[in-house]
Amino acid sequence: MSGPTRRRVVGGAGALAAASVLPRAGLAEGPRRSHGLSSFGELKYGPDFARFDYVNPEAPRGGSFSAQLVQTFGNQAFDTFDTLNPYVFRGNGAAGINLTFDSLMVRALDEPDALYGLVARSVEINPDGLTYRFSLRPQARFHDGTTLTARDAAFSLTTLKEKGHPSISQVIRDLAEASAEGDETLVVRFAPGRSRDLPLVIAQLPIFSAASYAGRDFEEPTLQAPLGSGPYRVGRLDIGRFIELERVPDYWAAELPVMVGQNNFDQIRYEYFRDRQVAFEAFKGGAFTYRQEFTSRIWATGYDFPAVREGRVRRETLPDASPASIQGWYFNTRREAFRDPRIREAIGLCFDFPWTNRTTMFGAYARTTSFFEKTEAMAKGPPSPEELALLEPLRDRLPPEVFGEPWSPAVADGSGQDRSLLARAVALLKEAGCTRDGSVLRLANGKPLEFEFLDTDSVWEPVVQPFAKNLGLIGIRARQRTVDAAQYQARVRDFDFDVVSRASSGDPTPGPELREAYGSRAADIAGSNNLAGIRDGAVDALLDRIATAASRAELTIAARALDRVLRAGRYWIPMWSSSTYRLATWDVFGRPAEPPRYGLGTPGLWWFDEARAKRIGRN
């Protein structure tokens, strides 16, 4: 399950990654106009740039790309869909719908947080940072030929704030008003105290046709193809099995600098499977052509089949220089059993990562320790003086360990049953008032300490079952429940779980989306990303500092302080991360020689190579 980075929030039109924003600090006394925006005003490309450096401007167009969905946003599920609207709470949204919509601006993947104009050719920012005027391109068109106007953009922002999925609506709640001044000027006003990155979060949200929603309920699940303006439109589909996106041959923005060399496939198809092994067998048989491998066992042992040996399928490991994916088991602290951090820590001590990594994952991973793994925001050593300046005013609300080395999960001995860590777990449970009654561990209130790992895929069994066995040794009964996608989605949305795993991509410039993941306000909003139910005034204060930091240095310091506090809270059991992409592809693709730093750029930057396809008989 994917989590809260800005790329998940926006799921935007032509978007390959996260949005960002120009800060209020450092603006001139009068309104400032710019062709692009970034969190701290840093732009690599000038106003007359011809294309992004990482694209192939001569990339041929044609052919097809087919894959499984590997990153979700909004209401999407990995293994099924039943609606073509992923931007609302209800239903399970189909893959690729974001490719049918355009947005005001799009991300440059070789910068940490820069945006450049798509529908908007420029933006004018008032000195107070509370009013943005976007000048729209008059040639912007929806797929039916109608003009995309500022009224459509205003309608879209207002609708997403009022009716959008909580992962969107909560992040943009300080959007005060969006209105049109004629067809080509969108005026966006923000509430005082808005986060630094909010303006450009909204700049990468999808733009809907206001006319196409006249008389329709935006929140209602639908299989009616949306009227978009993006590079693709919905083609064939079979509910829960596949969806095809067809390239729009007369796409209005194809020759704009932000689109040159991109959107090269005539068709993009997403396949759905309820079982990972079935999906892998389908890939081996050629049912789809691109696979990003997340199961280390399959990567290590499964790729000895004829198409690989014959060179028709390429197997590659590419470096991943972007922030690490953050993956872990999250405790639902709304549950009485998990309200004491000592209990949460004791449970985590029963997980032997070195043994699991060696015996079930072929040594492919490193243990995650931080909420900002593999970034400058990761806390290390004692707090710096700058961090202390933020933490000291909160001292009475923080555990003492926040002011020392940041908490990291204990390193097990790799035996699969580290007796010293199990003994530490028992001691912590006693401190928390738990008692042993024969083989049953009871909470201070006398109830048995038992819980459920909620999953939607049996692939987790080799990891969870040994963990549960260790828990049983100290009297905790832990069960694993695997449910279908619809039930899993419903339970997670309603916080009807004990422990659930989540993976989310790291963000080089964290911002307001963190409030939706860790902020008190989000804890009671169904569908929010605050799975753990964190309600902590100290966390909220640091989230505010992150969201309003005026420089990258300030942002880094505030994020390190937050990392210390979250880690001290024991809200999760950190899992693992990798510094590589594992790709298997049928040999029909071309791609830029060097991927951009902040993503692979698939499918947007890749293309169909007819010569390669002909060689392996897939033309």
Rounded to a whole number, what is the largest CA-CA distance in the chain?
75
Least confident of 25-34, 141-150, 524-533, 535-544: 25-34
Res 11: pLDDT: 54
**Nearest to residue 43, comparing CAs of 115, 142, 126, 139?**
115
Res 203: pLDDT: 98
Spatial CB neighbours of 200, under 8 Å, sequence gap ≥ 6:
19, 20, 21, 22, 37, 39, 105, 115
Mean pLDDT, residues 68-92: 94
Written as six digits, the tokens of 69 are 């969905």
Please report the DSSP string for 11-29 in residue order.
--TT-SS------STT--S
Give the tens place of pLDDT for each residue, 578-599: 989 999 999 999 999 888 999 8
Res 28: pLDDT: 47
| Residue for token pair 């569908």 | 527
Res 19: pLDDT: 32
Confidence check: pLDDT of 25 > 70: no
Give the tens place of pLDDT for each residue, 186-237: 999 999 999 999 998 999 999 999 999 999 999 999 999 999 999 999 999 9
Helix, strand, coil percentages, rounded to 5, for the chain: 30, 20, 50
- DSSP label at 450? E
Cis amide bond preceding 127, omega within 30: no
Q: Is the entire prediction scored with pTM above 0.85?
A: yes
Give the chain's domains with CATH numbers: 6-50+89-213 (3.40.190.10), 232-318+579-615 (3.40.190.10), 326-577 (3.10.105.10)
Secondary structure class of 326 (helix, strand, coil): strand
Q: What is the 3-state secondary structure (H, E, C) of 201-260?
A: HHCCCCCCCCHHHCCCCCCCCCCCCCCCCCCEEEEEEECCCEEEEEECCCCCCCCCCCCC
Of the pLDDT bands very low, low, confident and very high (cuts 50, 70, 90), residue 18 is: very low
Of the pLDDT bands very low, low, confident and very high (cuts 50, 70, 90), residue 310 is: very high
Mean pLDDT, residues 45-69: 97
Q: Chain-wide mean pLDDT for the chain?
A: 93
Written as six digits, the tokens of 535 are 């309600």
Q: How far is CA 158 from CA 91, 107, 184, 188, 222, in A?
A: 21, 22, 17, 10, 20
Spatial CB neighbours of 157, under 8 Å, sequence gap ≥ 6:
172, 175, 178, 188, 202, 205
> Percentage of the chain surpassing pLDDT 70?
95
Of the pLDDT bands very low, low, confident and very high (cuts 50, 70, 90), residue 10 is: low
Rounded to an integer, what distance in angstroms lies between the CA atom of residue 432 and that of residue 252? 63
Mean pLDDT, residues 71-88: 94
Q: How far is CA 453 from CA 78, 159, 224, 328, 459, in A?
A: 19, 36, 36, 12, 13
Rounded to an integer, what distance in angstroms lies between the CA atom of residue 108 and that of residue 171? 22
Res 5: pLDDT: 52
Of the pLDDT bands very low, low, confident and very high (cuts 50, 70, 90), residue 325 is: confident
